[in-house]
């Protein structure tokens, strides 16, 4: 990547702007361009962020822009689209957000963009696939946020429950970023001790873990019923992913990645742990699933496959 680190954010709603605010506080990015179908909103957001720069610890160029700004961008972040309303599943957003994503991809394709696309809009696994299909770009360079947020929720809740720093809770929520997600409990660690032996020693049991997973699964519904939308968590997750890419960190994040038989499944995007770096997805980590995990993974794939079929027409040309 070149010296000037440039991001184009498409969709300046709550999620996109939470990411932008998080980036300003972390630094390390030189240029942020905001695009939205509501131009006035994007212009206003750019003004508001710029006015805070004198009190931040970073120097950044932030402006409203048009699609030609993608020409020399390193990363495009997609946060455009409708968000979940109370009682709605992420999958129910599929038609409207597929059409929005498709329109955006057609615009990106007209530019000289040759970087990485990060997708956060929901249903994120399906929309990452839509981006891949419509742009035809290298799938290693199209990354969905997948279960990054679910994984952070799980690490936070387990950390609180066990009174161990979330830095030392090594666990992934896998599969669809949605109701069919799951945790492979045999692949979770506290420090370098297996989570299952740790809870056993400390007189907890599987009921405790299942209860925590249910809280993770229902977190978005719960937050939406209380404050209409969720955005800070995903904003921080997006910032984390972007920093990993720019800094070529080779850290492991549970993102939505295109499957090409790594998990014996092909042609869908789904949440699995991946090594992230400057070239996007460097490598997928294959976890050893037991029979129960394998069943849950296959179920999650089926759910996504079925949703994918429902938008076949939209992405066929
Ligand atoms: P929002 O309504 O606040 O913002 C969406 C923005 O997209 C609006 O500013 C809108 O004008 C813009 N937009 C719509 N169509 C567009 C187009 N064609 N081109 C450019 N911009 C367009 O919504 P939000 O709360 O910011 O949520 C954004 C998306 O992120 C939703 O799909 C939501 O479900 C998703 N989300 C994902 C996660 C995750 O973990 N991946 C978490 C929370 C929300």
Residues noted as catalytic: 177
pLDDT band at 91 (very low <50, low <70, confident <90, very high): confident
| pLDDT tens profile 256-274 | 999 999 999 999 999 999 9
Residue 308 has pLDDT above 80, yes or no: yes
- Looking at residue 1, its pLDDT comes to 55
- Looking at residue 53, its pLDDT comes to 96
| pLDDT tens profile 140-189 | 999 999 999 999 999 999 999 999 999 999 999 999 999 999 999 999 99
Ligand 1 contact via 125 beta carbon (within 6 Å): no
Average pLDDT of the segment spanning 299-314: 95
Ligand 1 test: best mutation among 83, 237, 253, most atoms within 8 Å of CB?
83
Q: How far is the CA of 157 from the centre of ligand 1 (A)?
A: 26
Task: Tell me which residue has its CA closest to atom 27 in ligand 1.
Answer: 83
Average pLDDT of the segment spanning 102-117: 98
Q: How far is the CA of 80 from the centre of ligand 1 (A)?
A: 4
| pLDDT tens profile 20-49 | 999 999 999 999 999 999 999 999 999 999
pLDDT band at 2 (very low <50, low <70, confident <90, very high): low
In the chain, what are the domain boundaries?
Answer: 6-144, 148-312
Residue 84 has pLDDT above 90, yes or no: no
Residue 317 has pLDDT above 80, yes or no: no
Ligand 1 contact via 123 beta carbon (within 6 Å): no
DSSP for the chain, written as a single string: --SS-EEEEE--SHHHHHHHHHHHHH----EEEEE-SSHHHHHHHHHHHHHHGGGSS---EEEE--GGGGGG-SEEEE--S--PPTT--GGGGHHHHHHHHHHHHHHHHTS---SEEEE-SSSHHHHHHHHHHHH---GGGEEE-TTHHHHHHHHHHHHHHHT--GGGEE--EEB-SSTT-EE-GGG-EETTEEHHHHHHHTT--HHHHHHHHHHHHTHHHHHHHHHS---HHHHHHHHHHHHHHHTT--EEEEEEEEEESTTS-EEEEEEEEEEEETTEEEEE------HHHHHHHHHHHHHHHHHHHTTTTTT--
Average pLDDT of the segment spanning 285-308: 97
- Looking at residue 90, its pLDDT comes to 86
Domain 148-312 fold: L-2-Hydroxyisocaproate Dehydrogenase; Chain A, domain 2 (3.90.110)
- Looking at residue 316, its pLDDT comes to 85
- Looking at residue 48, its pLDDT comes to 98
- Class of CATH domain 6-144: alpha beta
Ligand 1 test: best mutation among 35, 91, 122, 239, most atoms within 8 Å of CB?
122
- Looking at residue 87, its pLDDT comes to 86
Ligand 1 contact via 230 beta carbon (within 6 Å): yes
What is the number of the ligand 1 atom nearest to the C-alpha of 230? Answer: 43
- Looking at residue 83, its pLDDT comes to 86
């Amino acid at each position: 990547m070149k010296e000037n680190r440039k991001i184009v954010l498409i969709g300046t709603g709550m999620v996109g702007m939470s990411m932008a605010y998080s980036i300003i506080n972390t630094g390390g990015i030189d240029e942020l361009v905001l695009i939205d179908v509501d131009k006035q909103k994007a212009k206003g957001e750019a003004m508001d962020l710029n006015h805070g720069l004198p009190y931040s610890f970073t120097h950044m160029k932030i402006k409203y822009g048009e699609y030609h700004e993608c020409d020399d961008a390193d990363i495009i972040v997609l946060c455009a689209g409708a968000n979940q309303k109370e009682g709605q599943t992420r999958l129910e957003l599929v038609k409207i957000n597929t059409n929005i994503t498709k329109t955006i991809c057609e615009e990106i394709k007209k530019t000289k963009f040759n970087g990485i696309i990060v997708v956060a809009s929901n249903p994120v696994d399906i929309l990452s696939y839509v981006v891949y299909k419509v742009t035809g770009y290298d799938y290693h360079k199209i990354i969905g946020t997948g279960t990054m947020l679910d994984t952070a929720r799980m690490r936070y809740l387990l950390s609180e429950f066990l009174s161990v720093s979330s830095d030392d809770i090594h666990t992934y929520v896998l599969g669809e970023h949605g109701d069919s997600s799951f945790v492979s409990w045999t692949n979770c660690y506290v420090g370098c001790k297996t989570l299952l032996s740790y809870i056993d020693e400390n007189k907890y049991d599987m009921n405790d873990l299942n209860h925590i997973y249910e809280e993770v699964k229902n977190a978005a519904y719960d937050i939406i019923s209380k404050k209409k939308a969720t955005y800070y968590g995903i904003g921080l997750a997006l910032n984390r992913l972007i920093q990993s890419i720019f800094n070529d960190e080779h850290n492991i994040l549970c993102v939505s990645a295109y499957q090409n038989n790594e998990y014996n499944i092909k042609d869908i995007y789904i949440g699995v742990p991946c090594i992230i770096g400057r070239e996007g997805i460097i490598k997928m980590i294959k976890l050893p699933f037991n029979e129960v995990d394998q069943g849950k993974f296959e179920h999650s794939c089926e759910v996504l496959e079925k949703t994918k079929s429902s938008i076949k027409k939209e992405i066929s040309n």
